Amino acid sequence: MTNNGRITRRDCLKAFAAGTMVGSLSYGSRAATSSEAIPPKSVVAVLTAYSKGLHADVLIGKILEGWKQDGGPGPALKLAGMYVDQFPAGDLARPMAEKYNIPIFDTIEQAVTTGGDEITVDGVISIGEHGDYPWNDKGQHLYPRRRFFKEISDTFEKHDRVVPVFNDKHLGPQWDDAKWMYDRARQMKIPFMAGSSLPVSYRRPDISIPMDCEIEAAVAVGYSGNDIYGSHTLDCLQSLVERRRGGGVGVEWVQCLQGPAMWQAVDDGTVSKEVLEAAMQVTPKQSSPKLRNSERAALFLFHYTDGFQGAVFMLPDYLGGISAAVKLKGQAKPLATNFEERLQPRHPHFAYLLKGIERMMHTGRPSYPVERTLLASGILDRALTSMAQDHQRLQTPELAISYQPVDYPHAPHPNLLSDPTARLGT
């Protein structure tokens, strides 16, 4: 074992030969999985960092310690190893690895092959979120998602086997990197899934948009940073508007507006004031909210190829949550909901994200299309580019992305204890 707590290939092979490396064959100390009859699938985690409350904690921690991270029932997954890029203060990777006898490998290739000469795991969970990484001039936090996916897919190519991969949050984050990841997955026929936990979170009030409906207008509102939470907000909006008739289409242009220009779009009717107000009404507010006089507020305005308009208001000085509202044809008032970010038990929206990941690892098919997240990633990148280029409207032929949406549920469905291979709704 190296001095930094990682395991080398030689260490791993010695341990297997001695019969001592049991972490990849067990669930640690937690109770039985969702169903004793379902053999668990083995996964490896490729992480930027693993500390309390980070995405690695609330996803990988649920594999090790159950859906509630209390030693109770958990997913039909077992953790076979980890690659960890950084070890910040408060690191949990090393103590959790020691507690559950999970190897930490020096390289991504070693993790994917669990230190051997072939790929024996059933999937990879890549979490390129959190950690000390640079920012660019557009305000994008340059997490190494492309590097992670390149090394994962290079390992698949070298060892002539692919397995499903989940990428946490949006792709990229820069568009060229997002598109490269998507194209690489298609070229190699890698089952690929990505995105935010919030589209599958609890909703308050609990609403569902019917598939193949007619939507007249839609607005989402978000908070915090344009990059870090703009991705969540766009993913949430896209998860609703893709359900309209013919909704799996791309985007023709994107523009970011700020200051008086963004509110002029409301006052002149470009964006429905009624739908915007419905979204804000269900959203937690800041203690001293500022709306039209906030210098940090931004509007992402975009036009789909079918003529539908999308609008995302980032209001960090006014709101404390993410919500969306849609006006369905024939209904008098908009439907609005807040995508909840519950803290207990242990950020439960991540349990429902992990349930979708578990399903992909067992079926070999993404639980919902990665194209949704690819499109949201592209809209975000172009909106931040527009902001950096004096708020110009940008034509986006590269976002001519089409896909077939699916009717995937949100919390509290599917039942976390259900068979991950069962047909949804049963």
What CA–CA distance (Å, rounded) separates 319 from 337?
A: 14
Phi, psi dihedral angles at 344 (to 5 degrees): -125, 145
By C-alpha distance, which of 196, 204, 176, 9 is closest to 108? 9
Using DSSP's 3-state secondary structure scheme, residue 420 falls into coil
Q: Please name the residues in contact with 149: beta carbons below 8 A apart, sequence gap of 6 or more.
A: 126, 165, 167, 181, 184, 185
- Residue 46 CB burial class (10 angstroms; 0-12, 13-18, ≥19): buried
For residue 210, give the DSSP letter.
P
By C-alpha distance, which of 217, 278, 267, 261 is closest to 387? 261
Where do the domains of the chain lie, and which CATH numbers do they carry?
9-199 (3.40.50.720), 203-339 (3.30.360)
Pairing of the two strands 298-304 and 309-314: antiparallel
For residue 135, give the DSSP letter.
B
Q: What is the pLDDT of residue 30?
A: 46
pLDDT, one tens digit for every residue, the chain (426 residues):
333 455 544 454 444 333 333 333 333 334 444 445 799 999 999 999 999 999 999 999 999 999 999 999 999 999 999 999 999 999 999 999 999 999 999 999 999 999 999 999 999 999 999 999 999 999 999 999 999 999 999 999 999 999 999 999 999 999 999 999 999 999 999 999 999 999 999 999 999 999 999 999 999 999 999 999 999 999 999 999 999 999 999 999 999 999 999 999 999 999 999 999 999 999 999 988 789 999 999 999 999 999 999 999 999 999 999 999 999 999 999 999 999 999 999 999 999 999 999 999 999 999 999 999 999 999 999 999 999 999 999 999 999 999 999 999 999 999 999 999 999 975
Neighbouring-strand partners of residue 326: 218, 335
Neighbours of 21 (CB within 10 A): 22
Q: What is the pLDDT of residue 25?
A: 32
User: Are 163 and 122 contacting, i.e. CB atoms less than 8 angstroms apart?
Assistant: yes
The DSSP element (H or E) to which 15 belongs, if any, is helix 9-18
For residue 7, give the DSSP letter.
B
Q: Please name the residues in contact with 288: beta carbons below 8 A apart, sequence gap of 6 or more.
A: none
As given in the structure block, the two tokens for residue 255 are 């523009």
Q: What is the pLDDT of residue 36?
A: 57
By C-alpha distance, which of 233, 242, 349 is closest to 297? 233
User: Are 88 and 52 contacting, i.e. CB atoms less than 8 angstroms apart?
Assistant: no
Residue that is written with structure tokens 């980070």 in the block: 54
Q: Encode burial over 389-421: b for 16+ CB neighbours within 10 A, e otherwise.
A: eebebbebeebebebebeebebbeebebebbbe
Q: What is the pLDDT of residue 287?
A: 82
- One-letter amino acid at 203 equals R
Q: What is the pTM of this model?
A: 0.92
Phi, psi dihedral angles at 376 (to 5 degrees): -60, -40
By C-alpha distance, which of 59, 405, 371 is closest to 193? 371
Neighbouring-strand partners of residue 336: 325
What CA–CA distance (Å, rounded) separates 91 from 28?
A: 19
Max Cα-Cα span within the chain: 73
